[in-house]
């Protein structure tokens, strides 16, 4: 169409030149034809091809017809056709301008809205602001029916809006990455205790992040970013809540272990470790009160680690002491029953005292105070061994076992100044300390080591194997001399343990 128009304009120009050169008397409608040409150009400028194609075509056709009439030298008709062409062009312009103005504004507004969704006000504020101002001016001019000026403003607005959009578009990928990082952070927080302390906050944050991701996928950063910021705020609060809850739980656990260690009957033996743990727990509480939760957690975990190890050590030692206490208590109870059978009125007070110690030991055992159980059991055994010494020891010492008699028994005495041993017992019962192996062999079920016998043990005194009477007489005759010789030359077992707590 532009080529046709240019050709028409060329013909008109040529025709005018011909007529001017041929006769100065010809009244060629040059002004009307020029106006028609200008009017058609203006119609094309306002996109009449799109908005008023029929009117524009009519204006062009009439102008061509005008050229034909000039050649025919019908100048009046040519003038009339030129004026009619201008009128058709004016119609095309009048019809096109409002539509051009509206479409230009809509196109600019569309780009502006896309830039707005990309949050251009944040990422390209100057260009976005210029586009906004120009669009407002374009709308105002359109309302005043100043369509061409509105079109110009819309065109300028479109340029600024496009720049704002171009500047903002790269941030879509950045926001998506931030959203993915926040989602990973929410999942990590949930797995590290957040589910227990801030489940609602984390759930809310994840929902906002899901919506933010959907918006970002649609290049709607204007809505995605606020959602992301809200989610981050929720996560920050959830993280604070989780840290506080974790710090409180760790501090509570550390305090519980500390109290458990303190209440142990063995705590005096581990006072240094307990003091260190106590200091750590104190530091953890101080940092907790100052809302320094990560540091509080760290201190509590150090205390917990130390106390768990200490508790295991104490538990192992308590297991050993429990077994020892149980054995001692059982031995004390058995010994008490044996002593009660003696039935001496004079020994009632000692029996009662021993019973009191055993009752106390039983109570302490239930309370898991095993050292106390051992102590009370030993006290009872000491009293009971004294009863045995008074009641039986002297009788057996006075009545020595002789050949052919029935086996006797002997209760090991407790006397710190004159400790019992198999050597002395053999001397008291047989009149010959060198016969102690007879006692040892007869009591192997009770004596593991001949050097270790304990107060209160009841030993069987076996009968001396039968020997020829002459040998027996010689032995009795020379008993004093043999005894002296034996005291000088023969080794003998060690004395019995005097302290009941040494018994095993």
| Model confidence at 187: pLDDT above 50 | yes
Q: pLDDT grade, residue 306 (50/70/90)?
A: very high
pLDDT band at 363 (very low <50, low <70, confident <90, very high): very high
Secondary structure of residue 411 in the 3-state scheme: strand
Cα 221 to Cα 106, 243, 442: the distances in Å are 22, 32, 99
Position 346 scores a pLDDT of 54
pLDDT of 478 over the 60 cut: no
The pLDDT of residue 29 is above 70? yes
Q: What string of DSSP letters covers 336-393?
A: HHHHHTT--GGGHHHHHHHHHHHHHHHHHHHTT-HHHHHHHHHHHHHHHHHHHIIIII
Residue 394's CB: how many other CB atoms inside 10 A?
12
Q: Does position 499 have pLDDT exceeding 90, yes or no?
A: no
Instruction: Provide the β-strand partners of residue 208.
Output: none
pLDDT higher than 80, residue 87: yes
Cα four-point dihedral sign 486, 487, 490, 495: positive
Name the residue ranges covered by the structural domains of the chain. Answer: 2-99, 172-247, 322-383, 399-502
Lowest mean pLDDT among 178-182, 232-236, 413-417: 413-417
Secondary structure class of 52 (helix, strand, coil)? coil
Average pLDDT over residues 21-47: 82
Write down the pLDDT at residue 369. 86
- With H, G, I as helix, E, B as strand and everything else as coil, classify residue 449: coil
Residue 273, CB-side half-sphere exposure with 13 Å CA sphere: 21
Model confidence at 21, pLDDT cuts 50, 70, 90, reads: very low
- Predicted confidence (pLDDT) at residue 47 exceeds the cutoff of 90: yes
The tens digit of pLDDT for each residue in 115-134 reads: 999 999 999 999 999 999 99
Res 338: pLDDT:
82
- Residue-level pLDDT at 91: 96
**Per-residue pLDDT band at 10 (split at 50, 70, 90):** low
97 pLDDT band, cuts 50/70/90, is: very high
Contacts of 306 (CB under 8 A, 6+ apart): 273, 276, 277, 280
Give the separation between CA 248 and CA 77, rounded to whole angstroms.
Answer: 104
Please, what is the average pLDDT of the chain? 83
Rg of the chain, C-alpha, whole Å: 60
- Measured in degrees and rounded to the nearest 5, phi and psi for residue 409 equal -125, 160
How many percent of the chain have pLDDT more than 90?
55
What is the reported pLDDT for 335?
A: 86
């Amino acid at each position: 169409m532009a080529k046709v128009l240019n050709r028409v304009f060329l013909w008109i120009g040529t025709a005018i030149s011909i007529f001017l050169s041929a006769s100065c008397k010809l009244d060629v409608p040059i002004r009307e034809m020029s106006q028609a040409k200008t009017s058609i150009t203006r119609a094309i400028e306002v996109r009449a091809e799109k908005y008023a194609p029929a009117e524009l075509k009519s204006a062009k056709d009439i102008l061509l017809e005008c050229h034909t009439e000039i050649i025919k030298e019908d100048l009046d008709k040519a003038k009339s056709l030129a004026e009619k062409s201008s009128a058709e062009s004016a119609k095309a312009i009048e019809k096109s301008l409002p539509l051009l103005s509206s479409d230009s504004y809509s196109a600019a507004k569309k780009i502006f809205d896309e830039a707005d969704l990309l949050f251009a006000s944040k990422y390209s504020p100057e260009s976005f602001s210029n586009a906004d101002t120009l669009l407002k001016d374009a709308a105002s001019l359109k309302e005043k029916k100043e369509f061409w000026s509105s079109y110009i403003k819309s065109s300028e607005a479109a340029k600024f809006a496009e720049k704002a959009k171009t500047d903002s578009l790269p941030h879509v990928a950045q926001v998506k990455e931030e959203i993915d990082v926040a989602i990973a952070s929410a999942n990590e927080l949930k797995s590290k205790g957040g589910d227990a302390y801030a489940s609602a906050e984390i759930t809310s944050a994840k929902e906002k992040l899901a919506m933010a991701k959907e918006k970002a996928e649609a290049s709607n950063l204007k809505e995605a970013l606020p959602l992301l910021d809200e989610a981050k705020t929720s996560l920050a609060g959830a993280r604070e809540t989780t840290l506080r809850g974790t710090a409180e739980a760790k501090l509570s656990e550390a305090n519980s272990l500390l109290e458990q260690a303190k209440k142990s009957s063995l705590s005096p033996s581990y006072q240094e470790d307990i003091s260190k743990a106590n200091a750590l727990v104190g530091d953890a509480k101080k940092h907790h009160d100052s809302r320094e939760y990560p540091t509080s957690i760290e201190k509590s975990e150090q205390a917990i680690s130390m106390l768990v190890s200490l508790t295991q050590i104490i538990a192992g030692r308590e297991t050993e002491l429990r077994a020892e206490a149980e054995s001692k208590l059982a031995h004390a109870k058995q010994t008490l029953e044996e002593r009660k059978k003696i039935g001496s009125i004079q020994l009632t007070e000692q029996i009662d005292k021993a019973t009191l110690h055993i009752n106390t030991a039983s109570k302490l055992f239930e309370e898991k105070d095993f050292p106390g159980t051992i102590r009370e059991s030993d006290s009872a055994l000491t009293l009971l061994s004294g009863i045995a010494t008074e009641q039986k020891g002297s009788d057996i010492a006075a009545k020595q076992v002789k050949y052919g008699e029935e086996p006797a028994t002997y209760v090991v005495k407790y006397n710190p100044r004159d400790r019992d041993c198999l050597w002395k017992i053999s001397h008291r019962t047989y009149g010959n300390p060198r016969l102690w192996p007879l006692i040892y062999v007869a009591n192997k079920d009770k004596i593991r080591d001949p050097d270790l016998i304990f107060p209160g043990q009841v030993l069987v005194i076996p009968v001396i194997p039968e020997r020829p009477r002459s040998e027996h007489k010689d032995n009795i005759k020379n008993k004093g001399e043999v005894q002296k010789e034996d005291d000088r030359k023969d080794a003998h077992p060690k004395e019995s343990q005097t302290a009941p707590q040494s018994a095993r």
